[in-house]
Amino acid sequence: MKFLSLFSTLIASLVCGAQEPAVTTATMSAKSVEQRLAELEANQSLNYFSFSGTLVSTYDDLEVNETYPNPKDYKALDYLRLRFSLNADAEVSPQIRVFSRTTATKFFNKWRQAGSDGVFNEDLDVAYGNTGSQIFLERAYVDLSPNGSFWTLSVGRLPTVHGSPTNFWDLRSRMGTYPLLVYNSPLDGVALTYRLDSYLPDGNQWALRGLYTPFSDVNGGAALQSEYVTPPKADTNAGTPVGVTTNTLVDLFSLQSDYVWKNLNIADETGFILQYYQFSNLPFSSGAGTSNLSILSRAIVASIELLGVNRGGFDVSLSYNYNETESNGLFSGPGTGFGTTKDHDTLQGHVALLSVRYRRDSWAAGYEWLEGSKNSVYFSAAAEDLTHFCRTNGTGHHIYLAKKWMEFVTVRGGLRIQQYSNLPVFVGPVVPTDREVKTMYLSLRTDF
């Protein structure tokens, strides 16, 4: 009986063992189908996406000289910096396209940072604020274009950085929609574009745009469960909101006309942009409960760009920003308006930028001249340089030489000189200075 029991057990195991390959094959076959379906779905999804990016390494050598208001004589301020941007775009359909870019900017191996580690405005400045290895959202928006329509609705974090003439520096075509002297800061909002190309001669392009990109004023001092349903205040005092209530949205709107001519007698391509923007009642918090200061600012900007002047290798860009800023209230007592000692005042100023470039084959040499008047107010949060060249209240010069190397790599070296007549406008009266800042730099840019 024991032998029969062992024999039956052996037969059963052999039978089961004989069936195992069939079960395994069926399972493997089912898994293969699932895998193939998953791969097919992944491949179809990848057809929607395109990826690209930029990696820039920069060496800076800064020199600062000033006798008033605060004597300075600094030399050999050497820095190494890194900027990485990754673009992920998707064409969901001909009517729906999504664009995104994440960016990190940092110093090489920053050991420490003396003084404050903050930035002027975290949401606008952080992606280009050399804040470290963190990845920040620089751009994320969707373009919606109904079938047969000349309209495009853009919603999200819009492409409001790196406008003309930044494309001159690294032998690139025009990338930004808005001139450098209008915006150079990442802005969230809504844009509506109407294209009139079909009404124009072949090759000409004309776009009319309206934008709404408000600032958010958020109350963060109330209890967690009610902070967003409590109106924000004009100031804070040790973290407690104080003063009059303010709007949760500070309106910032803009209107733009962007026209491009092809093959005119004067140049291969000529572009002209006229844009107006205005924001109102932007509050300034002192953190001590003393401020009721707010500003209203408006500007009109004209920009013309000529590529291939006289069918040659010269390119020219000229931009002009005329701006007015109204200061209302005081920041911390008498004499602390915005750029003024008065409770209410209006500042008028301008910024002019001329860029000239000569390109031949894979080389380019360029020169830029900048003038910023005494009361000019221009904000740039995405500058590629450490000293904010375009925010110079005075005169600036920039010379550079660029070389395309191995198709996707560009090497550029240059010198920027900033000669200030006064310090940038902020709280209190405008402060005169004779500050001069010189920056020699070398950058290596890889596009992939």
Distance CA 42, CA 66 (A): 60
β-bridge mates for residue 396, sequence order: 370, 418
Model confidence at 83, pLDDT cuts 50, 70, 90, reads very high
Distance CA 146, CA 178 (A): 24
For the record, the structure tokens of 432 come out as 């005169």
Please compute the mean of the pLDDT values over residues 409-415 and round it to a whole number: 98
- The residues, ordered by sequence, that sit 6+ positions from 264 with a Cβ below 8 Å of its Cβ are 270
Of how many residues is the chain composed?
A: 448
Give Cα 393 to chain centroid, integer Å. Answer: 22
Phi, psi of 27 (to 5 degrees): -65, -45
- The residues, ordered by sequence, that sit 6+ positions from 170 with a Cβ below 8 Å of its Cβ are 402, 410, 412, 445
Give residue-wise pLDDT tens across range 302-358.
999 999 999 899 999 999 999 999 999 999 999 999 999 999 999 999 999 999 999
Kindly state the DSSP code that residue 168 receives in the 8-state scheme: G
Among 105-109, 118-122, 290-294, which is the least confidently predicted range? Answer: 118-122
Residue 288 predicted with pLDDT over 80: yes
Model confidence at 118, pLDDT cuts 50, 70, 90, reads very low
Contact 154, 191 (CB under 8 A): yes
